Structures are given as structure tokens and as C-alpha cells.
Amino acid sequence: MKLSLGFSPCPNDTFIFDALIHNKIDTQGLAFEVVFDDVETLNQKAFGAVLDITKLSYHAYAYCTNNYVLLDAGSALGFGVGPMLICKTDQDLSDPNLKVGIPGKFTTANFLLGLAYPHLKNKVEMVFSDIEQMLIDGEIDLGLIIHENRFTYQDKGLKKVKDLGQFWEEKNNCAIPLGGIVIKRDLPLAIKKTVNQLIRESVEYAFANPKSALPFIKSHAQEMEESVMYKHIDLYVNKYSIGLGADGKKAVETLFDQAQENSIIPQVNKNLFL
């Protein structure tokens, strides 16, 4: 059976899925047709139920729970891993007219921005990798960065305004849920459970053989230094990527509860977890 699988070309995703899609583990008769896209494009595809299995933002998951269910394996949660609000020159954060570059309306980063600074509504959506340059060029006043940009912004003369992951952790005393892996609800339960187990095994293989995925990671992050790749992986791939566990599920439920309380997402009635 062949299933379509979408994830980003970022090092954490290529690290997680390398063993699965390159048959370094026994895939139990399943084959995967891989689609690479940035996270907001994957979010949009999830809204249309385009792919059988896909990475998405936890924020976006709220809008497609009728079609997808969250797998236990493959998620990006953690401490000290959240998005960051940055600037080129100091700004008056009370000014509601500040123009903020965001990596997508339905990213968890934008959800956290809404919690921390609800008055900042002048937002411009752009590919996450363009945000630093837009700040440098003066096209935006503030930038909301994710992924490896948290390691590079200072080298470009940019400054931290707020670590939104730290904001979340201090507020809730739990990990911040960034992205998860979902699978179509209408697939047979046995297939869903098998895919979940395979992703878990793929993560475990990557941890046991950390250099095995390097050629694959490099092929999709050609301009990134190897040290940055592994910093990225160390931040976003951890115990929650193997399995959410009780703590991970609690963090996801906390995210959804707060988002619903603040009318950031609609009420979700479906069971969130496989």
C-alpha cells in the first residue's frame, strides 16, 4: 500500500523520516510518496485533506480534526524551542500599527504571538526563511522567526524582542507543542497504528545512528552549516518525537484549551489523539 507523506525539508523532519522513506527499517509492506513543503503550505494542504499523512502546526490541526487524527510519534515539542519575536531597531511594542512578518497565519508561532501581544494585528505572511532579510531591508518592523533562524538572527545584526517559547513555558509550566504528524481518520485503524509505529522506529533509528541521515539532511539544507543542522535537530527532536506520553498530551490539550478560551481556534469536538 502506498501512502502520501508530507513533511518539511528542515533538518528535524529529514532526520526523523530518513530511515522510514529510505527503507532502513522494515516498513511492513507500506510505501511512501514524499511531498516536501514549508510548514504553512503543509497546513494549507491539510485543510484540503490532500495528503494521507502530513506534518502540520498544532495551531492548524484545530481546523482539520474532522479529517485527521494526531499520531503519537513524530511531534516537535520541547522547552527552549519556541518561536522568537525579533527586530532590527528597538520598537514601541505598544504601537498596534507595527508591521510583523509571520511564517503563516496557522502556525503555532502566530498563535503564541496572539497570546503574548494580542494588539499586534498588522501581520504580513511570508516564507519563514525570508523574515530576517525583510527586517534587514526595513520592510517590516518585527519578525516572528522559527526553525534554524533562532541560531542565525544575531549574526545578521538583529535583536531578540521576546522568546515566545519561554513566554509559554513560564505561563503554563509545560512544553510548547509546535508541530505534529497527523493521518487521515478514514484509513483503517491497523494502518494508522502501523504508520505510528514505523515513525517511532524511524526516530529511534535516527537517534541510534545519528550520522546515517546526514546526506539526506544536507541535500535539503545545502546552505546550512552542519553545526546549525545538529543544533536544530537537538532542539526539535527529543523524547516527544518518539512518543508524546502523558506530559506531551497534556501540553497539546493545554494549547487547545487556551486557544479556544481566547477564540483563536474553533471548538474542537473530535478526539485529538490516535
Residues contributing to the annotated binding site for substrate: 55-57, 108-109
What is the rounded distance in angstroms from the CA atom of residue 132 to the CA atom of residue 47?
28
Known catalytic residue at 147? yes
Which of 119, 147, 220, 232 is the catalytic position?
147
Task: Name, in order, each residue with C-beta under 8 angstroms of 157's C-beta and a sequence gap of 6 or more.
Answer: 88, 136
The answer to whether 20 touches 199, Cβ cutoff 8 Å, is yes
Contact status, residue 164 vs residue 173, Cβ threshold 8 Å: no
Which contiguous run of DSSP H or E holds residue 145? strand 142-145
Residue 69 burial class via C-beta count within 10 angstroms: exposed 0-12, middle 13-18, buried 19 and up: buried
What's phi and psi for 35, nearest 5 deg? -120, 125
Q: How far apart are CA 251 and CA 175, in angstroms?
A: 6
Catalytic residues: 147
